[in-house]
Amino acid sequence: MRWVSGKDETSVAMRLHNILNLDPEEPIFLAENSFSDLKQAPLTEKYLEELEGLGDISSTRPVQLVDRNDCAPIALAVYVHSQGFDHWLVLTNIISKDGCFGERVRALACNCAEEIETDAKSLREAVVEYYSIFLRNQWLCESCA
């Protein structure tokens, strides 16, 4: 199934919820502990390796975000159980621009992921909003990842 997210992704929910077509009540987390961590993306790399080790990720309800301008994967969201609860984990290369990210996500997503078109600008804005909200509320911590 392919969804095309709207250009105006503003509402009470975080933009990440809107881009991924998720209920605003669904817990959602970016893999990295801070915006600056997105430059090297060590946790994104760790989680990608774990997912690659699983092989079939269909049980994680994967959602692949694809840039509508060049059809390149720019994020992968998976539904996981961690820290005692179920939540969405979002892996992205929107800041790091890791050249292998898209290829790895495509291989993982195969035919089991929902694909959603958006644009890189909207995803960057959603990432900035996410870290702004989490920083303001003091929800960011090393052990929360």
pLDDT in the model for residue 51: 95
Of the pLDDT bands very low, low, confident and very high (cuts 50, 70, 90), residue 7 is very low
Tell me the percentage of the chain whose pLDDT exceeds 90. Answer: 65
Half-sphere exposure of 72 (CA within 13 A, CB side): 14
Summarize the confidence of residues 70-84 as an average pLDDT.
Answer: 92
- The H or E element that residue 2 is part of is strand 2-4
CA 65 from chain center: how many Å?
Answer: 8
- Please determine, for residue 11, whether its predicted confidence score (pLDDT) is greater than 80: no
Summarize the confidence of residues 5-24 as an average pLDDT.
Answer: 70
Half-sphere exposure of 51 (CA within 13 A, CB side): 28
Summarize the confidence of residues 51-70 as an average pLDDT.
Answer: 94
Instruction: List residues bridging with 30 in a β-sheet.
Output: 90
pLDDT in the model for residue 99: 84
> How would you classify residue 29: left for phi > 0, otherwise alpha for psi between -120 and 50, otherwise beta?
beta
pLDDT in the model for residue 2: 33
List pLDDT tens digits, range 86-115.
Answer: 999 999 998 988 889 999 999 999 889 999
Half-sphere exposure of 38 (CA within 13 A, CB side): 18
> Cα–Cα distance between 67 and 32 in angstroms, integer?
21
Burial of residue 25, with CB atoms counted within 10 A of its CB: 0-12 exposed, 13-18 middle, 19 or more buried: exposed
pLDDT in the model for residue 134: 81
Give yes or no for a contact between 132 and 124, defined as CB atoms under 8 angstroms apart: no
pLDDT in the model for residue 136: 77
- Please determine, for residue 140, whether its predicted confidence score (pLDDT) is greater than 80: no
Q: What SS3 class is residue 74?
A: strand
> Cα–Cα distance between 93 and 124 in angstroms, integer?
10
pLDDT in the model for residue 8: 39
